[in-house]
Amino acid sequence: MGGTSSNDLAFSCNCGSVQGHLDASAAKSGNHVVCYCADCRAAELYLGQPDPAPGPVDILQTTPDVIHITQGQQHLGLFRLGPKGLFRWYATCCNAPMFNTLKSPKLAFAGVAAARLTTPERLGPVISEGYIPQPDGKRKHKNVGRSAFALFSRMIATRLSGRWRSTPFFDVETGEPVRTAMTLTKEERKKLYPKV
Ligand SMILES: [Zn+2]
Ligand SMILES: [Zn+2]
């Protein structure tokens, strides 16, 4: 406890060129999740970040209207691991992974890299875990259904209220992302994924 409504959640890239904040409400209304999936790991490796494995990547799932980039917007870069992959937004100045979105602003989803927050502890406990490795080599999810439902409800509310139009990632008139998405080649992908 101890947050006030003026107590926004600051974020920045690793070098500090990209800065901004999330609305204070984002910690409570969003889903604090961790993901062990091969894509999240591959995205970190592609950007030259420390390998998260065997640990997960820590993410706040929310809607783009709570995200405000106040400085360094010109350093936003965008890539996809594959032709159907999430939009993965990063800071071109220092290669810090920043956000994930879907490919249309009308699907008002955003994942925020918790590691970029100044006070990630304010996100509170992790409420769900995805793709947890099991001893038998399979993967398991924990509480993902419930958190997905809450998030989906929030996305719908954001769409219906028109708040989806408030996004730093898209030109809402054209529906196009503010950067051209670069998609990795098969060869590039191969290097990033564990052999299965
Ligand atoms: Zn940077
Ligand atoms: Zn993942």
Alpha-carbon gap, residue 163 to 106, rounded angstroms: 10
Residue 57 Cα to ligand 2 midpoint, Å, equals 7
How many whole angstroms from 173 Cα to the centroid of ligand 2? 30
Q: What is the sign, positive or negative, of the torsion defined by CA atoms of 179, 153, 12, 68?
A: positive
Is it the case that residue 132 has pLDDT exceeding 50?
yes
The number of the ligand nearest the C-alpha atom of 61 reads 2
- Interval 161-192: pLDDT, tens: 999 999 999 999 999 999 999 999 999 999 99
> Residue 62 above 50 pLDDT?
yes
CA–centroid distance, 5 to ligand 2, in Å, is: 30
Task: Count Cα neighbours of 26 within 13 Å in the Cβ-side half-sphere.
Answer: 29
* Ligand nearest to the CA of residue 19, numbered in listed order: 1
Name the band, by pLDDT with cuts 50, 70 and 90, for residue 65. Answer: very high
Looking at residue 109, its pLDDT comes to 95
Question: Whats the size of the chain, residue-wise?
Answer: 196
Q: Which ligand is nearest to the CA of 40?
A: 2
Name the residues around ion ligand 1, CB cutoff 5 A. Answer: 13, 15, 17, 91, 93-94
Q: Does residue 61 have a pLDDT over 90?
A: yes
Cα(93) to ligand 1 centroid in Å equals 4
Q: Residue 12: nearest ligand to its CA? A: 1
Percentage of the residues of the chain whose pLDDT score is greater than 70: 96
Are 70 and 29 spatial neighbours (Cβ–Cβ below 8 Å)?
no
pLDDT, the chain, mean: 92
Q: With bands split at pLDDT 50, 70 and 90, how would you rate the model's confidence at 137?
A: confident
**Which pLDDT score, from 0 to 100, does residue 2 have?**
38
Cα–ligand 2 centroid distance for 38 (angstroms): 7
Q: Quick one: average pLDDT of 124-145?
A: 88
**Residue 131 Cα to ligand 1 middle (Å):** 29
For range 49-66, the mean pLDDT: 96
Across residues 69-86, what is the average pLDDT?
Answer: 97
8 Å CB contact between 24 and 4: yes
**Reported confidence tier of residue 3, pLDDT bands at 50, 70, 90:** very low
Tokens of 88: 């993965």
Task: Select the more confidently predicted residue: 156 or 137.
Answer: 156
What residues contact residue 89 under an 8 Å CB cut-off, 6+ apart? 76, 77, 78, 98, 99, 100, 101, 169, 179
pLDDT band at 145 (very low <50, low <70, confident <90, very high): confident
Cβ–Cβ under 8 Å, residues 99 and 112 = yes
79 alpha carbon to ligand 1 midpoint, in Å?
Answer: 16
Tokens of 22: 């999330």
Contact (CB, 8 A) for 54 and 66? no
Contact by Cβ (8 Å): 91, 98: yes
Ligand 1 centroid to Cα of residue 105, in Å, is: 24
Task: Note the pLDDT of residue 6.
Answer: 60
User: Which ligand is located closest to the Cα atom of residue 116?
Assistant: 1
